[in-house]
Chains A and B, each alone.
Chain A
Amino acid sequence: MERSGLDFQPLVGSGWLFFLGLCACLALYWSWRSSQGLSPRRRGLLLALRSLLVFGVVITLSGPSLRKERVRRIPGKAVVLVDRSASMGVEAREEAVARLLQPEALKELSSNYRVQFQGFSDGLEGLDPTALGPAEGEDTDLLGALEAMGRHLGDQAIAGIALISDAVDRRGSFRSPEAEARLKALGIPVSLLVPGEATGKDGGVELLDPPKLAFVRNTFQAKFRVRARGLKGQRLQLTYHMPGIEEGSQWVEVTDDIFEKDLMVPLKPVRVGRQVLTVELSPVLGENQIQNNRLEVPLQVVRDRLRVLQVAGEPTWDVRFLRRLLKEDPGIDLISFFILRTHGDSNEVPEEELSLIPFPERELFMEQLDTFDVVIFQDFDFAPYSVGRYLRHVRDFVLENGGGFVMVGGPRSFTEGGYAGTPVGEILPVELGAGPADQRFFHPRVTAQGHPILDLRPGQSVQGLLDSLPLLAGHNRLGRPKPGSTVLLVHPEHSESRPEPVMVASRMGRGRSLAIGVDSLWNWQLPAAEAKAGQRPYYRFWHKALRWLAGDLAYSRLQWSGLSERHPSGKPLRFRMGLKDPQWKPQANGQIELRLEHRHEAPRKVQATTDEAGWAGFEIEDLRDGVWSLKAVASAEGAEVAQLEGVVLVGALGPERRELGPDGAIATRIASATGGEVLNWQRHDLTDVPWKAVWTERVEAVEWTPLWNRPWMILLWLIPGLLAILLRRRWNLA
């Protein structure tokens, strides 16, 4: 297409043109004044001729030209925006999208419009319609993608946007009343091509606002959202369970074809550590997808407060200072029970005048025992109080339930307390029966400087600290440490041939055990305050010891490194494990046996040996999707030294895959706010989208033909000038 028009290309600069115009005006004024003797009619005619002369000169100097343009019309842009979030990764949807973007299907559209393809999930991304990969985006931001596209297009001529999506928006932008205004502000019609599955059957469940942490023995409210489509009139059963608690369930009546209901479920974890909450919605025959009926949520269950049971055979100063310490610690929930009167004491006073209560041995050691994290036997002899029958519960509490047990010395502890050959003797980290107590005062010698319990003065010598504290008053003679235990403190006369351990720690089954062969640790508090005001070695020791006993992961000799709670499907699981020796230094040549269990597979075992830095690497392939329980057992020099448990969720459906849609309500809102339409992609394709007929023009060539040098152009101003001269002479003007 061609078009032409007049253009000006001045022969002189604009300054000159202005100057010449000014001179011409002055000349006209002068000639007007010099023609005063003529009649007004003649004066007017003369002025008109002279004005034509000036106008003609000015026009000529302005350089008039004829411009000719060759122009091309370009069709408007049709934008095809394709949802690449994981919810579009379902096989049927991937096939539908591939069909919509086939070259043959796009031929007609491309002939009428310039077509731009763009992908999006949580933001815009590139898209090649001839090489579509799997849709894997972990989020969908519909409104954000449309607005980003609008900004990208700027003021180009846009025929419209075709949005190929399930219209499920995970950002919640469409809950805001401003969504309509934001869509209208785009100024571009958006039409949606959505799956035609809205009438299909599907049920699903998801956990809203999943807690990152849960507290053991504390109830938290889990909020589940049950969604159902095409299941009106059905009763669906939601079941849920966690390790250690009974399975629970609730029934849900589906009252609509497009149904959604939130359920609050109280859950009370009973075990500490990483575990999986499993939720299942009963499947219905003919569901589009049953994977989203099952939900597995990894949960880290921690303690909010340590529950400690302190049982003492006599209220001594050691008992009193430990009680005060435990009571003052806001992170500890303490239950104390002290024997204030023995069978041998006078009992002449009536019970009503005493504040004594019966020893609730059954409640403490049978009914409530598992609610504690740590049990302390402090100078306590079990025999007079009918506790013997419950000692096996204490052993099981440690070995099977992962509890912590500490026996603190005194005339009723260890051998003197009659524990040899009892179930409690089994869980002590030392042998019993080593002889009578030693009454001499002493400063203990440190043998495991790096052990976390002895982290009494970070970065400084623990031995130096203990030597500066008051002497300890005597000790129970503990026997040989059991294999795998760590001797923390010994008597100064300790030797290989004549072991005199004073403090020994060991992991026992799933729990931990600590033996303290003295009843004068309180000397590290009040007597120590005489010289070292402000130091709190006593507090620091017990704080560390209790957390170690409670199985705090930071205090384990075996540690995970690089093990995440979720792992993608089909990829090898790689992580490392670190092992410390009894002195809490890296353990070289330690054997770590890892047992992996899955509910649908036979258990697997993998072994690795630690290097000089105490690390062992693991790479596990072909892990089936689902929950894998990991249990690592470390051993060194033939003895088991540590255990660690964990869980990994392999190939879990992400939130995108749990909510497949399509969401008709959002699709309709987008289309109506922007002037587009909602089309079922099973019956329509991109050519059915109501594209606007818009285009832009592009000038491909321009040609200028000068007019100022044409003879008629010169005559145009020359003739009036000559006529003015002629008339001037005829009318006898000077």
Chain B
Amino acid sequence: MDRRGWLKLSAAGMAGLFAPPAWAFGEATRFAFGQLGAPDPVRSGAWARLALELGQRTSVTCQPRPSALSLEDAALFRHPFLILSGASLPPWTEDAWQRLHRYLGAGGFLFLDGRGPGDPLVQQAYDRLARRFSPEAKLRLDREHVLFRSFYLLERPMGRVLASEPARALVQDGRLAVVATEVDLAGALARDAFGAWSFDLPSGDRERAVRFGVNLVMYALCTDYKADQVHIPFLLKRRR
């Protein structure tokens, strides 16, 4: 390459280095949370907060606010990341459950965010879905699972409360299609109208909760990318 070519290339490189990517394709192709069920007023800002953190910490470009969805919505299948949380399970019909199962089978991801140990919504939703998967699809996620190293190196799910049991999951075609925790992730991320945290947490737990949220999104976007052979030597070294 001649001198002129190098200059051109360097100029292009510098431009790319300092200019953030123009979102030429608009909102439609950005990552967005899809929220199922009735939003909890106390925790309503949690997912917007996580979207903000994702934008600041990772290369993922997010839509700032989650989309409220029902299982009947036409937009459901355009949101590959769904969150289900709340006080109780919505009164979904059998067809709605079938639709959710089809969504998960075609590549969708569902996060069940329980508010604490024994959360009835998580229990019921997980059981209803598990019936539609094969028995082998049920999985308990130990610390070695790639979910806990999809961006940050973590030991377990983190949220407002400590988990009494490992996270549970349902596996479809080798990827986690459903992840269920009872750590109240939304509770750890939520702020009130004045910008104060909605719940007090011990020092460091909130950061760990953010990291777990980031890992969840990264896992949904990259699946088992961090289990690829190219990453293993680096990660083993850091785990020691």
Contacts and interface: CB of A to CB of B under 8 A. Distances in A.
User: A and B, one complex?
Assistant: yes
Interface in A562-583: none
Given A317-B31, A320-B220, A324-B175, A384 B230 contact: no
Contact of A411 (B21, B149, B224, B235): B21
Contact of A355 (B25, B108, B231): B231
A103 to B, nearest CB: 78
A473 B23 CA distance: 12
Interface in B23-62: 23-26, 28-29, 31, 56-61
Contacts of B31: 316-317
A464 B7 CA distance: 47
Interface stretch (B12-20, B112-120, B185-193): B12-20
A337 B231 CA distance: 10
B178 interface: no
A454 B194 CA distance: 55
A354 B21 contact: no
A70 to B, nearest CB: 95
Contact of B222 (A338, A383, A391): A338
B20 A344 contact: yes
Contact of A473 (B28, B57, B174, B238): B28
Contacts of B228: 335-336
Contacts of A153: none
B70 to A, nearest CB: 14
B152 A354 contact: yes
A418 B16 contact: yes
A523 B78 contact: yes
Contacts of A684: none
A520 B25 contact: yes
Contacts of A417: 16
A342 B59 contact: yes
Interface string A157-198: 000000000000000000000000000000000000000000
Given A320-B222, A353-B152, A381 B21 contact: yes
Contacts of B103: 526, 529-530
A437 interface: yes
Contacts of A324: 107, 173, 175, 223
B151 interface: yes
Interface in A409-448: 409-412, 416-423, 436-437, 439, 441
Contacts of B139: none
Nearest to A344: B20
B174 to A, nearest CB: 7
Contacts of B206: none
A346 B210 CA distance: 14
Given A317-B29, A388-B13, A533-B102, A357 B231 contact: yes
B24 to A, nearest CB: 3
B25 A410 contact: yes
Contact of A345 (B13, B15, B58): B58
B56 A313 contact: no
Contact of A422 (B9, B58, B108): B9
B230 A335 contact: yes
A338 B174 CA distance: 20
Interface string A345-364: 11001011111110010000
A215 B72 CA distance: 50
A318 interface: yes
A519 B150 CA distance: 23
B174 A526 contact: no
Contact of B59 (A318, A341, A409, A530): A341
A1 to B, nearest CB: 95
Contact of B60 (A314, A318, A323, A533): A314
Given A383-B16, A388-B13, A530-B76, A314 B61 contact: yes
A119 interface: no
B12 A388 contact: yes
B129 interface: no
B24 A315 contact: no
Contact of A439 (B12, B26, B58): B26
Given A349-B152, A383-B15, A474 B61 contact: no
A525 B1 CA distance: 42
A317 B221 contact: yes
Contacts of B164: none
Contacts of A315: 59-60, 218, 221-222, 225
A526 B77 contact: yes
Nearest 8 interchain pairs by C-beta: A383-B16, A437-B24, A383-B13, A529-B106, A418-B12, A473-B28, A315-B221, A530-B77
21 contacts: A314-B60, A316-B221, A317-B31, A320-B222, A320-B223, A327-B224, A349-B152, A355-B149, A355-B235, A357-B231, A360-B230, A382-B16, A384-B13, A388-B10, A388-B13, A392-B1, A474-B29, A520-B28, A526-B107, A529-B107, A530-B77
Interface of A: 313-321, 323-324, 327-328, 335-346, 349, 351-357, 360, 381-384, 388, 391-392, 409-412, 416-423, 436-437, 439, 441, 470, 473-474, 476, 519-520, 522-523, 525-530, 533
Given A316-B60, A320-B222, A357-B230, 17 more contacts: A315-B59, A320-B80, A324-B175, A327-B224, A337-B230, A340-B218, A346-B57, A354-B153, A383-B12, A410-B29, A411-B23, A417-B16, A473-B28, A473-B29, A523-B78, A529-B103, A529-B105
